[in-house]
Amino acid sequence: MNEYILEVKNLTKIFPGVKALDSVNFKIKKGEIHCLCGENGAGKSTLMNVVSGVYPHDSYEGKVFLHGKETNYKTVKDSEQDNLAIIHQELALSPYLSIYENIFLGHIKSKTGIINWKQLIIDSKKLLKKVGLNENPETIVSKMGVGKQQLVEIARALSKNVELLILDEPTSSLNDVESEQLLQLILELKKEGITCIMISHKLNEVMEVADSITILRDGQTICSYDCHNENITEEIIIQGMVGRDMTHRYPEQDHKVSSDTIMEVKNWSVYHPEYPDLAVVKNASFNLKKGEILAFCGPMGAGRTELMMSIFGKAYGSHCSGELYIKGEKREYHTPKDAITDGLGYVSEDRKELGLILIQSVRQNISNSSLKKLSKLGVIDKHKELEEANNFKKSLNIKTPTVEQTVKNLSGGNQQKVVLSRCLLAEPEIFIVDEPTRGIDVGAKYEIYCILEDLVKQGKSVIMVTSEMPEAIGMADRIYVMNEGKIKGQLLKGDATQEKIMTMALTGKKE
C-alpha cells in the first residue's frame, strides 16, 4: 500500500496575469497532520482548491493522486465522493439555515424521496458531541459566533466520512481558547486515522500540531520538514516563508504620546440590534491621546467591536447612549459618513462583509472612502485615483498583477491590505483598526505594524482592537481590557503581560 494518501506532482495553475502555482510537488502521509505555510499570496489556498476539485482538472497542469490514483476531479462533489473535505478560509455555511440543515445540506439521505428530519437531528446531535459543540441542532447558524460555525463545518465534514480533511486558516477568527479547542479536536481526529492538512499563519499552532510542514513561496514548494526527525523552530519556518531572517517581529518604537486628549468617551452603552433591552456594552469610558496606540483586548464577545462600531457613526446597535468628545468638543455621529468626515477611519474585522466591495477592483475599493478628495466638480479624477491606488500597491506590497484586478481574486491577506489602504487614503486623525492582522503573514504583519507606528509618529492616533495579546503588548502604549461588555481596567506599556490581561479580563484586577 502507498504510504502517501495524497501526492501532487508538477502542478502549475495560472490565472490571468498570475502564476499562482509553479511546478508544485507535495506529499502527505496517511494519518498525519500536515501544515502548509507561506506568505500571503504564496498559493496555499489555490493548491488546496486544486486538490479538492474547486478548480477542475482541465484548468491546471500537473497531476494529483489520492491513494495512488490520479484524481481528475471536475467539481468539489467528485472529491467528496473520495472522502475528501475542505473547509475554506472564509466560512461557507448558509447563515439562515439551522445547524443540522447545514450539516446535511447537499447530501441528505432519503428513503423513497422522504426525508426523516427527526433522524437528521438525532444524527447531528452525535456529530456535535464529537466536535464538542454544545448547541441545539435547530439553532440558526447566523446566531452563533465564528468559533462555533467553524465546528459546524467540521461536523459537516465528519458527516461525510471524511478521510482527508483540509482546513484553510481555521483559527484566524478564533480567540485563544477556541483555537486551542479546535487544535485538540484535530489531534483527536488524527487518533481516529483522519489525515489533515492545515493552512495557518499562526506558527505557534503549527508547531503544536504539525507532524510535517511544507513551505510555499511565490507558487513554489520551498521545502518540506518532518517535525519528528528534524529540529524545527518558528524561526526556520519564517526563514523559509520570507526567504530571509526576521530578527524583529515589531518595529522599533520611538513615537511620543502627547498629553492632549484627542478622543474621550463617557458612559457609553450599546444595545443589541435585535434585542433592544440587551446591553452589549455597558457604561464604557475611555480616552485616547494624540500620537498614542491604544489597544482593546479581551475575549471574543467582550463587546470591543460593538463599542468601536457604535462610536463610528452607529455602525452597530439599535441605540446607544453616552457622550463622545473629539478634541474636547461634543460630537454626535448619525452615520459612518459623519465619522469619516470628522476624521475617523475604521478598518473592520470582517473584511468580506463590511470592509470590501468584492466585485469592484482594487483601485475602486481603495478610493471608496475618499471620492470627494479625488474629485473635481463632482467628477472623479481617474488619473489621480489610479496613481493613489498604485502608490498603495507599491508601499503596502499588495500582491496583484494590476490595481484593476477584482478584489475577490486577491488572496485573503492581500485583501486585508486593500482595506487598510482605503482607510489610509482618507487620512484619518483617529484610525480604528479591528483585528488588523487577521490572516496576515509574519512579514506583512511587520509591514502593518510599521504603518501604524508611522501614523502615530505623524501625530495621528490609533485604536487597535485585537485578540492577539502579543500584538497588543508589542505595539500599544496602553491596553484597555474588556469583558462582558465592560471595561475592566487598563495596563500600561511595559507593565502588560498575557497573564495580567487575562486576569484583568476575569477579575478586573492586575494580579
Ligand X SMILES: Nc1ncnc2c1ncn2[C@@H]1O[C@H](COP(=O)(O)OP(=O)(O)OP(=O)(O)O)[C@@H](O)[C@H]1O
Positions in the binding site for ligand X (CB under 6 A): 15, 18, 20, 38, 40-46, 89, 399-400, 409-414
Query: Running DSSP on this structure, what letter comes out for residue 443?
Result: H
- Residue the block writes with cell 485578540: 467
41/345 with CB nearer ligand X = 41
Q: What's the min distance (Å) between Cβ of 442 and Mg ion?
A: 15
Q: How are beta strands 486-492 and 478-483 bridged, if at all?
A: antiparallel
Q: What pairs with residue 490 in β-bridges?
A: 480
Residue 240 contact, options ligand X, Mg ion, none, Cβ 5-8 Å cut-off depending on partner type = none
168/292 with CB nearer ligand X = 168
What angle, rounded to 10 degrees, do the helices at 117-131 and 146-158 form? 110
Query: Running DSSP on this structure, what letter comes out for residue 406?
Result: B
Q: What angle do CA 242, 245, 251 make, to 5 degrees?
A: 90
Binders of Mg ion among residues 390 to 419 (CB under 5 A) are 412
Q: What's the min distance (Å) between Cβ of 370 and ligand X?
A: 24
Q: What's the min distance (Å) between Cβ of 109 and ligand X?
A: 34
Query: Does 46 engage in binding with Mg ion (CB under 5 A)?
Result: no
Hey, how many other C-beta atoms are within 10 angstroms of the C-beta on 259?
7
Q: What angle do CA 31, 13, 50 make, to 5 degrees?
A: 35
Binders of Mg ion among residues 161 to 190 (CB under 5 A) are none
CA distances from 284 to 195, 490, 496 (A): 46, 12, 21
Region of residue 508 (left: phi > 0; alpha: psi -120 to 50; beta: else)? left
45/212 with CB nearer Mg ion = 45
Radius of gyration of the chain (CA): 24
CA distance 419 to 384: 19
Residue 43 contact, options Mg ion, ligand X, none, Cβ 5-8 Å cut-off depending on partner type = ligand X
Query: Running DSSP on this structure, what letter comes out for residue 371?
Result: T
Residue 52 contact, options ligand X, Mg ion, none, Cβ 5-8 Å cut-off depending on partner type = none
Sole window of 62-70, 82-90, 215-223, 464-472 interacting with Mg ion (rule: CB under 5 A): 82-90
Q: Which residues contact 179 (CB under 8 A, 6 or more apart)?
A: 171, 202, 205
Q: Report how far apart the first and last C-alpha atoms of the chain are (Å, whole number).
A: 56
Binders of Mg ion among residues 257 to 276 (CB under 5 A) are none
Sole window of 59-67, 74-82, 87-95, 453-461 interacting with Mg ion (rule: CB under 5 A): 87-95
Tell me if 28 sits within 8 A of 195, measured CB to CB.
Answer: yes
Query: Does 45 engage in binding with Mg ion (CB under 5 A)?
Result: yes
Residue 20 contact, options ligand X, Mg ion, none, Cβ 5-8 Å cut-off depending on partner type = ligand X
Residue 200 contact, options Mg ion, ligand X, none, Cβ 5-8 Å cut-off depending on partner type = none
**Closest by Cα among 168, 174, 185 to 147:** 174
42/194 with CB nearer Mg ion = 42
Q: Is 178 exposed, middle or buried (0-12, 13-18, 19+ CB in 10 A)?
A: buried
Query: Does 367 engage in binding with Mg ion (CB under 5 A)?
Result: no
Residue 410 contact, options ligand X, Mg ion, none, Cβ 5-8 Å cut-off depending on partner type = ligand X
Per residue, the 3-state secondary structure of 191-207, as one string, reads HCCCEEEEECCCHHHHH
Q: How are beta strands 195-199 and 164-168 bridged, if at all?
A: parallel
Q: What's the min distance (Å) between Cβ of 206 and ligand X?
A: 13
CA distance 58 to 81: 19
- Residue the block writes with cell 486628549: 261
Q: What's the min distance (Å) between Cβ of 43 and ligand X?
A: 4
40/461 with CB nearer ligand X = 40
179/414 with CB nearer ligand X = 414
Q: What's the min distance (Å) between Cβ of 416 and ligand X?
A: 8
**Closest by Cα among 508, 139, 465 to 300:** 465
258/409 with CB nearer ligand X = 409
Q: What's the min distance (Å) between Cβ of 38 and Mg ion?
A: 9
42/295 with CB nearer ligand X = 42
49/461 with CB nearer ligand X = 49
Q: What's the min distance (Å) between Cβ of 455 and ligand X?
A: 23
Q: What's the min distance (Å) between Cβ of 153 and ligand X?
A: 17
350/427 with CB nearer ligand X = 350
Question: Binders of Mg ion: how many residues, by CB under 5 A?
Answer: 3
Interacting residue ranges for Mg ion, rule: CB under 5 A: 45, 89, 412
